[in-house]
Amino acid sequence: MNAEINLTNVLLETDRLILREWEENDLNDFFEYASVDGVGQMAGWQPHKSLEESATILKMFIDGRKTFAVVLKENNKAIGSVGIEKLSTEIDGYENMKGREVGYVLSKDYWGQGLMPEAVKAVINYCFETAGCDYLLCSCSPQNTQSARVIEKCGFRFVLEKVRKLTDGSTRAARYHILDKPNR
């Protein structure tokens, strides 16, 4: 079952990052990375074609209160997001426990610097210590080796592979990984 999530006024901090609610003034930063070819396709969405498209999605982030903006401390630039999404599949043995699914994206300009594992680990701590989650899921396509590496670095373990419907309407194999709350 889904744990309740509301990120209103939640602020997480790591060595290099601030994770906070999205704000309307993040629109240009959001469009800058979301419009780049290769950023969203592995997660099932196409590059944004206009500032208006990004504004619509940004409003969904703000209203949904379940997606963090990943902001670089050094320049206060939004470079990605981490969402605490509703579960997209059930895992045997976890039906009566509270969980959520973590999803993330990072600007291509910042790939390979260890920023996403840093952000996801902060969100994991928040989910277990504050949000009442018993477990978390994370999934990626078998071809998305970068995302799989983030999942591995964050301690998730593989549980199943199945076909999943993506936000763009297509279907793709997804490898699901789970992380149990410590001392559960």
Could you tell me which CATH class the domain 12-180 is placed in?
A: alpha beta
Two tokens at 74?
């050094």
Q: In what order do the strands lie in the sheet with 171-180?
A: 12-13, 17-21, 67-72, 78-85, 99-106, 135-140, 171-180, 157-165
Does the pTM exceed 0.75? yes
- Strands 171-180 and 12-13 come out as unpaired
Lookup result for tokens 């959001």: 30
Q: Scanning the structure block, which residue is given the tokens 């076909």?
A: 163
For the chain, what are the domain ranges? Answer: 12-180
Structure-block tokens of residue 148: 């799989």
Radius of gyration of the chain (CA): 15
* d(C-alpha 70, C-alpha 160), whole Å: 28
Of the candidates 144, 150, 179, the one whose C-alpha atom is nearest the C-alpha of residue 42 is 144
* Positions of the chain with pLDDT lower than 70, given as ranges: 167, 184
Contacts of 34 (CB under 8 A, 6+ apart): 40, 47, 48, 54, 57, 105
Give the β-pairing of 67-72 and 157-165: unpaired
What is the three-class DSSP state of 82?
strand
What one-letter code names the amino acid at 89?
A: T
